[in-house]
Structure 1
Amino acid sequence: MNLMADYGWLLWIVIGGLAGVIAKAIVPGKEPGGCIVTILLGVAGALLAGFLGNALGWYRPGEGAGFIAAVVGAIIILFIWKLISGRRVR
């Protein structure tokens, strides 16, 4: 049974939400947005991690990033956001 094929976008939302919440808890300071932005942050983190993992040869073509990689990707996005927006990371 392929879990992603069975639940598709619903599983992306749940995993993205969890990854976004964990990333926001790890990165110091106040981050933007509410629930939807947190979910989008986690999903974007997973996409970033999958892209970087494929580019570096860590994943096979078409293989997505795991949960921990999604959290790391979301943390990277938060740090980039803070650099662009001029907010300090404390």
Structure 2
Amino acid sequence: MPILALIVVGAAAGFIATRLMRLNTDIPTTIAIGVIGALISGLVLRFLIVLTGWAAGFVGAVLGAMVLIWLWRMYGPRR
């Protein structure tokens, strides 16, 4: 069952990623992109959590703050 879930989630992720990056691919390639991307990100996130524990949450907080600053600069009030 986890393999089937990985394929379904990977297909959806691949579809969204290829559309966001404006990449025209066939269905098997789209699914492969999504599945491989899910595997890579899953391994990286698990590695970070095991390696750093609570510090991974800190890294996530810093990244979230950086995104918020970027959004504020792009769409906030102009001087």
TM-score, structure 2 length as denominator?
Answer: 0.53
Question: 1:50 aligns to what SS in structure 2?
Answer: helix
Aligned to 1:25: 19
Larger Rg: 2
Separation in 2, partners of 1:36, 1:10: 15
Q: CA RMSD in A?
A: 2.0
Residue in structure 2 matching 1:9, options 3, 16, 41:
3
Deviations 1:37-83 (A, max 9, x none): 1111111101111222234x2x348xxxxxxxxxxxxxxxxxxxxxx
Q: Larger RCO: Structure 1 or Structure 2 (Cα < 8 Å, ≥ 6 residues apart)?
A: 1
**Shift in Å, 1:12:** 1.2
Deviations 1:6-37 (A, max 9, x none): x2221111101000000001103x34x41111
Structure 2 residue 44 is matched with structure 1 residue 44: no
Unaligned residue ranges in structure 2 (runs of 5+):
52-79
Tell me how many residue pairs correspond in the alignment. Answer: 51
* 1:47 partner letter: L
Question: 1:45 aligns to what SS in structure 2?
Answer: helix
Separation in 2, partners of 1:34, 1:9: 21
The structure in which a higher percent of residues are helix is: 2
Unaligned residue ranges in structure 1 (runs of 5+):
1-6, 62-90
Residue in structure 2 matching 1:35, options 23, 27, 32:
27
Separation in 1, partners of 2:42, 2:5: 16
Instruction: Determine what percentage of the aligned residue pairs are the same residue.
Output: 31
**4+ runs deviating over 6 angstroms:** none
